[in-house]
Amino acid sequence: MPECSNCSCFREVTSSQSRLGILRSLVRSTHAEVEQELNRIEAEEYGKYQAEDQEVKLKTARAGYLLGQIGGRFQTCEVPAEIDDERVARTISSFPARFEGQPQCVTYCAEQADAQKWFIPTLRNWAGFCKAAQPATPPANCLQCAHYLPSTGDDDDGRELALLTNSLGETDSESAPLLLTRKSTIEQKIGPHKAAELALACNGDGRVTARLRYLPFCKAHSAVPQLWNRFGDCKSWSAAGQMAAVQVPAPSTLPPIPPSATGGATTAGSSGIAAANGLPSLPPMAAPPAGPPAMTTLASMGASPFASAASSGVPGLSQQLAGLAQNVVGLAFAHFTKSFLDVGTSSGMSTPPIRVLAPGNPPLTEEMLRRSTEVAAALYGTVFGAAERQRYGEIATAAWNRDLRAAIDAQLALIANYDAHCTGRLDRIQASRHLQSFLSACGIAAEARR
């Protein structure tokens, strides 16, 4: 008799393998918002467990009734000796062993999961009649996978709060309120931000659109790895330092980036300005997918309204774009940048200062570029790889070094959308316009492929 617990298709949901248990182990926090979200998830999971457990009980009772018709006993796996094997097999095959949908909170058999079929183990393998048993394999540990990226939010917050605390004792009375305001803002947003990420991860059953701040990330599946691979059955697992032979292709919404960093060919209509400014070019935007008329991504907005004007050298373009971006950014971001840079340039700190990539007003810091890159990647609907991040950084740094005011202002407006992006409240249309303005001001056409 094959034991289900020794089968690779057996999915036993224990407290540590439940979605709630995994999320609690990944996010340890005393914030009220986090506890409130975990309580909501717990109530939701308990409701699912009750429904799935009731389904198992009803179908088990039905199987017991069918077996009783031939004189058998379900609990003891007994049938009368005079009942031939063919009739027993026919009765067992009539058991309602299949779940109505994929179970989340109860143990199940995933032998035909690829065909969207999941089974109740005690019915499918009653008295050892299952013929599909497969030897269990060692579970794939996400922490040892080459695709695994740990979370960075707690470390980033800790460094920034330490910098602010150290700077408060060294700054003058004029800058102290700005530092206190920034410190308070960071502390107040941690709880809501973590709660929002918990909701995103749970609602998507582990799948997320981009890398989160407080939860780990799987590059192969764009998911929270411990949720996506909670039973250790991931087929894309690759030992750290050894990338899998089969690579996951990039989404079609992100066009390939040209290999040339500078001086290469640019997109049609923008080569003149790109060459004059010495800036690399970004690829053309992808065509919008078929569907309802609502368009929210950068690719679905079509060609940039500024691209053709930039390529033809319309006078006054920079002034127009600068005025547009200034209205969006406002005084709040100026305060943030000033306090952010004051912290990074203070002397006598126990932690390293924030790295400035390019001078300007304000200077471009490594953190500013990271935030802008994440928002841009979300608008493209993908996760930028190392080469794409480098290309994007080269364009932004070149804009700062050449003091392209319109591009800088559009970039600041894009950075101002970072918190909304992290909490899932990003205005994609407005942010896409900021990105288009940035590309156009750099002489790069953001055209949609038709």
User: What is the per-residue pLDDT across 398-410, written as a single tens digit (0 to 9) for each?
Assistant: 998 988 888 898 8
Backbone φ and ψ for 408, nearest 5 degrees, come out as -65, -45
**What is the CA 240 to chain-centroid distance, rounded?**
21
The type of residue at 418 is Y
Question: 159-175 pLDDT, tens per residue?
Answer: 888 888 888 777 777 77
Q: Could you check whether the bond before residue 139 is cis, i.e. omega within 30 degrees of 0?
A: no
| The predicted structure's pLDDT at residue 224 | 94
SS3 425: coil
Task: Give the Cα separation of 13 and 108 in Å (integer).
Answer: 8
Q: Looking at residue 61, what is its pLDDT? A: 94
Write out pLDDT tens, residues 246-291. 344 444 344 444 444 444 433 334 334 344 444 444 455 444 455 4
pLDDT at 10 over 60: yes
Give the confidence band of 437 by pLDDT, cuts at 50, 70, 90.
Answer: confident
Query: What pLDDT shows up at residue 322?
Result: 46
pTM metric for this prediction: 0.52
pLDDT digits over 80-114, tens only? 988 888 898 899 989 999 999 989 999 999 989 88
Whether the predicted pLDDT of 311 surpasses 90: no
pLDDT band (50, 70, 90) for residue 301:
very low
- Of residues 249 and 72, the one with the higher pLDDT is 72
Quick check: 136 pLDDT over 70?
yes
pLDDT at position 353:
52
pLDDT, residue 368, reads 87
Percent of the chain at pLDDT above 90?
21
Phi and psi torsions of 364, nearest 5°: -90, 120
* Eight-class DSSP state of 78: B
